[in-house]
Amino acid sequence: MERGNETLVREFIFLGFSSLAGLQQLLFIAFLPLYLFTLGTNAITIATIVLDRALHIPMYFFLAVLSCSETCYTFVIVPKMLVDLLAQKKTISFLGCAIQMLTFLFLGCSHSFLLAAMGYDRYVAICNPLRYTELMGHRVCVGLVAAACACGFTIAQIITSMVFHLPFHSSNQLHHFFCDISPVLKVASHHTHLSQIVIVMLCALVLIVPLLLILVSYIHIISAIVQFPSTLGRYKAFSTCASHLIVVTIHYGCASFIYLRLKSTSSSSQDALISVSYTILTPLFNPLIYSLRNKEFRSALRRAVGRTISLPQR
């Protein structure tokens, strides 16, 4: 892999936790239980929704897809990060880095569009309750998820292709713990401002368009809720949207902080810290936010646990 007298990069070295060399074993001990708990909570969420027929409605269908997406997202990044915390050589191949970026961008972009679909679901449920079953049939829900995945994969493929078509033959040290866009761009031998602007615009598209759709949905939702004659009715309507709003705030807050400022002046350690919360804590909190705030889900979980406990006694 030669170009003139310069050797192209064959692998990248992660330096995300190099400043905490003495604490990496402690970080492993801290992150491993969190990761296992994240897998467990998302698995419980998906299993409860699949097993309980009372939850076979669009809102929980989207929640199951969201939990599956969160599980896959963490699986792409966290296991490699945990291994690297204990390894002397923290490397990833050039192809492996490209695959990791493509996969996590696909899941992250799809996540944004999926949250927009969930916002539309809440809009139909509150603003058109009599036509909810008709407007949010199984085909429509599957179509919305498929569209979210298609948009996510297309944008992820464009960004990954643009990044890895750049020349890499100067440095292979990434000041991060996975192949994120900004750290990889920083080690490229050269890239035009145009390519960086296009990447930022695509990231903005993924964040701003779904967010605008969510805002439009909630403008109509709030307009409908304030006209409810009953205080209890208004409270119930707001409570069904609260979990979604919390997840939207966390997702778009972290993602906007990272991906809407791809400048060389950004702090690598700051980005790594935000990314840790985004890749470990957010997938952990999302199922907890939905389950703890939702009485219907808690009841379904108790029924599922009860059936599981009673099976060995038969």
Q: What's the gap between Cα 203 and its chain centre? A: 14
In a domain, 311, yes or no: no
- What is the bridge-based pairing of β-strands 173-174 and 6-7? unpaired
pLDDT number for residue 72 = 93
**Stated pTM of the model:** 0.88
Q: What's the gap between Cα 80 and its chain centre? A: 17
pLDDT number for residue 263 = 53
Closest C-alpha to 125, from 102, 141, 148: 141
Q: What one-character DSSP code corresponds to residue 55?
A: G
Distances (CA, A) of 138 to 120, 196, 256, 309: 15, 40, 32, 32
In a domain, 312, yes or no: no
* Full domain range(s) for residue 225: 11-306
Residues 6+ apart with CB under 8 A from 195: 162, 166
- Rounded distance between C-alpha atoms, residue 104 and residue 16, angstroms: 17
In a domain, 314, yes or no: no
- Rounded distance between C-alpha atoms, residue 33 and residue 46, angstroms: 20
In a domain, 207, yes or no: yes
pLDDT number for residue 304 = 79
In a domain, 6, yes or no: no
* pLDDT tens, residue by residue, 80-99: 999 999 888 889 999 999 99
Q: At what angle do helices 231-259 and 282-293 cross, to 10 degrees?
A: 180
Q: What is the CATH number of the domain that holds 246?
A: 1.20.1070.10
pLDDT number for residue 193 = 77
Task: Give every residue of the chain whose pLDDT is below 70, as ranges.
Answer: 1-7, 191-192, 261-271, 292-293, 310-314
Q: How far apart are the first and last CA of the chain?
A: 65
- Rounded distance between C-alpha atoms, residue 279 and residue 277, angstroms: 6
Q: Give burial (CB, 10 Å; 0-12/13-18/19+) of 29.
A: exposed
- And the tokens for 212? 């605008």
In a domain, 123, yes or no: yes
Domains held by the chain: number: 1
In a domain, 15, yes or no: yes
